[in-house]
Chains A and B, each alone.
Chain A
Amino acid sequence: MKKILSLLLCAISIASFGQTATVKGLIKDELSQKVLDTATATLVGTNFSANTNADGVFTITGVPYGRYTIEVKETNHATYSQLIDVNQPTVVVGSVGLKISEAIVEREDSRNKAQVEDVPTVTLTEADSKDLNDQNIASAIGSTADIFISTVSFVQNEAHFRIRGYNQGQFEVFMNGVPMNDLYTGNGLTSGWSGLNNITHNRDITIGLGASDNSFGGVGGTYSLNTSASAQREGLTVSYSNANRNFRNRLMATYSTGVLKSGWAVTASFSRRWADQGYVPGTFYDGYSYHFSVDKHFGNNNVLSFTTYGAPTKEGLASASTAEAYNLTGNNYYNPGWGYQNGVVRNAYTRNGFQPEFILNDHWKINSHSNLMVAAGFSFGKVERTGLDYTNAPDPKPDYYKNMPSYQTDTLQQALAEQQWRENVNVRQLNWDNMYAVNRNSYNLVPNAQGVPTNINESLYIVDGRVNDQKRFNLNAVYNNTVNEHISVQAGLRYQLETSENYEKVEDLLGGTYWVNVNQYSALTYPGSAAAAQNNLNTPFQLVTAGQKYGYDFITVQHNATGWVQPQFHFKQVDFFVAGELKATSYWRNGLYKDGLFPDSSYGKSPAQTFINYAFKGGVAYNIDSRNKLYANGAYYTQAPLIGDAYLSAETREQLAPGLRSQQVMSGEAGYMYKSPIVKLRASFFVTQINHQTQTTSFYDDDLSTYVNYTLTDINSRRLGGEVALDAKVYKGFSVTAVGTLGNYIYTSRPNATITDDNSSLVLASNQPVYEKNYHIAGSPQLATTLGVSYHSPQAWYIDLYANYYGNNWVSVNPARLTTAAVSGLEPSNPLFQQIVAQEKLPGAFTLDMFAGYSWLMNNEFPKMKKYKYYMVFSLNVTNMTNNRNFITSGFEQLSFNNVTKSLTEYPNKYIYAYGTNYLFTVAFRMN
């Protein structure tokens, strides 16, 4: 204090000379080297002060000559101060790197769950709903400086809220420069680094259509991670977490060397997550993750980096069920997918995956104003989802509609069935012991290699696995040139190759000796035709055992080449950019089975489908002053249809969706931003129109006794909405946040359905209009609001409370119910007509969440420790504190509908509930 006082006096005395100067500086985050546009620089003891602009530069004018202490403050960073001599017209403080403040580090650490499994989510089985099945990008993003994105990913993810109603494929994901979108589904492969929270805090996120330095970007935005060793803080972190979510326990350990004098940097991270039973009965979790990265700096201008990571994980899944089953069991987390085997809980539906990734990456600083990043990635591995398969045997699923009390017509039988459901666990859950008994006593005549019928012990029930075995190779180069203070240019080239083999295999014969590789459904349609029944004519009536393939087996191959360029222009008040992208896509199917129904179109390589696509975007930002900013961006894309949607039934044949073509995406957004040291506000509007989308779904149809493939073409949809995010520092450590989205996401066309089934070579329907215009897009609440209060104590603890309301959420519709066939013979005035076509709106829900943490700097208690700083960090997150167990996050109409009986009780809607009160408690030891 004395010092400052004396300096102050000194400054005042010198000020009398009367000359003035301009003091400038550039403020960056020390680790990420990203500019900070929310910092404030103050000359201590004077009224001279300035905020940084969008480029991180502050400018204080009219400063009298003299010696000052300049202090730079930013909410999330430790205060920086330095002595400066103001003795010339312009004084440049240079590039000031702010360290993230310790309290904030801990908050970030505890909240930095860039991981889907930290946020309570229900993992659906694949058959449930394609609309709801892809992961939500928000759950993978984690914490950022942007209050909107942070809130969406930490808090609103509990409601499966999706940013602007987008699915994951609308976001481009990059890991250390390598594109990470699976070309088959479009989804970002974020599960590869799940569990590796310690090393994924360094990321670059663009939401919407703004310019990204890393890529052209998807219509949703760009999510780019940097986990290279140089980007990690030096030190050791070991933590243990306890939770009642998908996992119960988690261990994480990370050690990073920082950049050593020799130019090397190494980081290694390991994580283990497990639960014998997760929040939902019958689920389990058994996951490992690792990450290893080594960097070598060659002088100051070149960094070569090698990274490898992976997450071998096996988990038992939760299956959605019906209102009747939830009511009967009195449990909204009832899971029909498990049962007792020998007294032990066994879940039939599991996911088991391991796809290790290897990345080589080079950052070359060509000169002071340009750099080149080149990254190559290779990954391979399988993801297997298991389930039950059965042939000519009763459906073993306890909540199959014929196994429900509501199927009983007699009141006594119905009452008895209800009693059975409540009291008999073997009725309510899977009955494994019975499946074993059936299989052991099941004999069937199957032709042997000579065609002679032979009696074999054939399993009627098996656990099957649907395997996706991928190899992905990616090459990506991004060049960045800051031509002058007004112009910078980014450009990139990318090549992607992905081969994906998909097949079914026998996982467990459940006591039987063989499974017969025939299509039981076509055997029913073509009685007596041995050829038509064959899944593979090359191996007719093949007897398969555990581990062997059956059912279907095909490979898809896809090549992509992309080039993009993006000039950006910066002026005093106006920034603008334009960008263009050109992409060539080619893919084909290579069948490994010669299907008995499609002998001429199933085996071997199909003709390649080639698409040339382009995209443009541009944006302008107008800086009214240093605090107020207006911006607007627009984009137009054409996008090749995903290979997973291109074929009517890729599992059986190469027949394409009719009129297969690229989809069109048009999007615009405009917003206002206000930024002062006290208040940050962003309000924006967006509209996105997607036209000519193609989508293929397969599901088991009980009435047809077969798998049905439903391809919709010319799906148009519009997502329109507004977002507001406000963050205000109210008093000392208190701040208030308010975040909300109100959207209207609807279909805007009547797509055409092409329906085929897997037991005949016929097309069941083509060009059948689906009257889904103005129906709501499901999968996310279209109203999501959060009000938060937080207190950050100078004593290194904090607490955040969030109150949330979610609404405007609809179940996903079954297109088959929106056809003339579904309502034929019914007058629109008939209540049944209305019930068939109505889209159910889910009730709104209120939740309360809390995040709290404390960081104990142990050096204070143990003064002998000098070399490092040692911390014990405690954090607790409690979600849904009011234990709202009636909060339906998503629902869907089952994809079967009987046009004749028009029964709505056969295939009632299924629902997924948000977890009740759930927590994650972490203790971490940190040394750095």
Chain B
Amino acid sequence: MKKITIIFLAAVFFAGVSSCVKEKFTAPAANNADPNLTPNTTIAAITALYTSVKTPIQITQPLVLEAVVVGDDKSGNLYKELAIEDSTGGILLMINGPDLYANYPVGRRLFIQLKGLYVVSYDGSYEIVGSVNTDGSFTGIGTTNLSQYIFPGQWGVNVAPKVVTITQLLSNINTYQSQLIQLNNVEFVAGSRGVPYANGTLILNGSLLVKDCNENQATVYTSGYANFANSLTPSGNGSLVCIYGVYGTTAQLMLRDTTDVNMTGPTCP
């Protein structure tokens, strides 16, 4: 009898001692490395695939593209798209979801397995999309499927804008597509100074003109959803960093943020 009782109580005691429920978690190790993938194509090469047929083309080969994010959706001016760039050019990567900058901010290197994706042109702007719908419209890659296509690598890769002139942009509107560019010594035209970039209250897009001192002009296009839409344009002359875009035959300058604008100098005479 004593034995039974002692064994039972000892078992109970042992169970009690071993009853620790572990709910402490260690943070995963920080990792800033590239995935083990070897790129075998370039933006220029896949753009050429499209231009050779002029119709949406699905990549069927195991192509791997290496590119760096130069424009993200943090301010809301870009939406459901990222501007990515390699040494051969730039292109828009379409993803069907918001807040892409959290995972793919400016300066993150991406390795993209293109097989299954499409290269298309949307009003002259080259894009990588997830699907081509029956009505001919395009849909970005579904967020659930991102890990199938996009293998993100290092964060914080330095992205230097290409310094160009408005004249260079307009000479061939496709040369700098979806690339990060910098215009120096430019200013907003008289009617576009000190006004909101767009209407963030009524959500109306804004198109404002900048010019150089030779009166060459380009359009600064701002989405009504951009968080700086209600901010006022500067009245001075200086530099402007932006994503260069194409809409039909129009050149569009897309600001990533107002910190891209540094126009405080004296205006053109």
Contacts of B19 in A (CB 8 A): 249, 251, 272, 274
Q: For the complex, is B190 an interface residue (Cβ under 8 Å from A)?
A: no
Q: For the complex, is B41 an interface residue (Cβ under 8 Å from A)?
A: no
Among B25-33, B60-68, B158-166, the stretch that binds chain A is B25-33
Q: Tell me whether chain B's interface is mostly helix, strand or loop, or mixed.
A: loop
Q: For the complex, is A327 an interface residue (Cβ under 8 Å from B)?
A: no
Interface digits, A115-148 against B, CB 8 Å rule (1 contact, 0 not)?
A: 0000000000000000000000000000000000
Among B44-52, B138-146, B171-179, B235-243, the stretch that binds chain A is B138-146
Contact present for B147 and A427 (CB under 8 Å): yes
Contact present for A393 and B139 (CB under 8 Å): no
> Whole-angstrom distance from the CB of B108 to the nearest CB of chain A?
8
Of chain A, the residue at the smallest CB distance from B227 is: A527
Q: For the complex, is B97 an interface residue (Cβ under 8 Å from A)?
A: yes
With A392-B102, A405-B144 in contact, is A410–B133 under 8 Å at CB?
yes
Interface digits, A410-435 against B, CB 8 Å rule (1 contact, 0 not)?
A: 10110011001100101100001110
For window 472-526 of A, CB contacts with B under 8 Å fall at 510-511, 523-524
> What CA separation (Å) do A735 and B133 show in the bound complex?
67
Q: For the complex, is A290 an interface residue (Cβ under 8 Å from B)?
A: no
Contact present for B229 and A416 (CB under 8 Å): no
> What CA separation (Å) do A547 and B22 show in the bound complex?
20
> What CA separation (Å) do A342 and B29 show in the bound complex?
8
Contact present for A403 and B143 (CB under 8 Å): yes
Q: Tell me whether chain A's interface is mostly helix, strand or loop, or mixed.
A: mixed
Among B9-17, B85-93, B181-189, B206-214, the stretch that binds chain A is B9-17
> What CA separation (Å) do A272 and B16 show in the bound complex?
8
> What CA separation (Å) do A417 and B4 show in the bound complex?
57
> What CA separation (Å) do A438 and B143 show in the bound complex?
16
Contact present for A417 and B105 (CB under 8 Å): no
Contact among B12, B145, B229, B230 for A417, CB-based, below 8 A: B145
Contact present for A441 and B156 (CB under 8 Å): yes
Of chain B, the residue at the smallest CB distance from A346 is: B25
Contacts of A539 in B (CB 8 A): none
Q: For the complex, is B155 an interface residue (Cβ under 8 Å from A)?
A: yes
> What CA separation (Å) do A433 and B116 show in the bound complex?
27
Contact among B15, B98, B131 for A410, CB-based, below 8 A: B131
Q: For the complex, is A437 an interface residue (Cβ under 8 Å from B)?
A: yes
Of chain A, the residue at the smallest CB distance from B140 is: A413
With A238-B8, A433-B28, A528-B200 in contact, is A402–B143 under 8 Å at CB?
yes
Contacts of B40 in A (CB 8 A): none
> What CA separation (Å) do A409 and B130 show in the bound complex?
10
Of chain B, the residue at the smallest CB distance from A276 is: B21
Interface digits, A262-304 against B, CB 8 Å rule (1 contact, 0 not)?
A: 0000000000101110000000111000000000000000000
Q: For the complex, is A440 an interface residue (Cβ under 8 Å from B)?
A: yes
Contact present for A413 and B141 (CB under 8 Å): yes
Q: For the complex, is A862 an interface residue (Cβ under 8 Å from B)?
A: yes
Contact present for B12 and A240 (CB under 8 Å): yes
Interface digits, A851-876 against B, CB 8 Å rule (1 contact, 0 not)?
A: 00000001001101100001010000
Of chain B, the residue at the smallest CB distance from A392 is: B99
Contacts of B108 in A (CB 8 A): 441
Contact present for A403 and B144 (CB under 8 Å): yes
Contacts of A870 in B (CB 8 A): 1, 5
Contact present for B145 and A437 (CB under 8 Å): no
What are 9 sample pairs from A and B whose C-beta atoms fall under 8 A apart?
A: A394-B143, A405-B144, A408-B145, A424-B147, A523-B227, A527-B227, A923-B8, A925-B5, A925-B8
Given A410-B130, A437-B31, A528-B231: 16 more A-B contacts, CB < 8 Å: A240-B12, A251-B16, A314-B21, A402-B96, A408-B131, A410-B133, A412-B131, A413-B131, A416-B145, A424-B147, A434-B103, A437-B28, A523-B227, A527-B200, A527-B230, A870-B1
The 6 closest A-B pairs by CB, nearest first: A410-B131, A862-B1, A286-B21, A393-B102, A417-B144, A441-B155
Which residues of chain A have a CB within 8 Å of any CB of chain B?
238-240, 249, 251, 253, 272, 274-276, 284-286, 314, 341-342, 344, 346, 350, 392-394, 402-405, 407-410, 412-413, 416-417, 420-421, 424, 426-427, 432-434, 436-438, 440-442, 445, 460, 510-511, 523-524, 527-528, 858, 861-862, 864-865, 870, 872, 923, 925
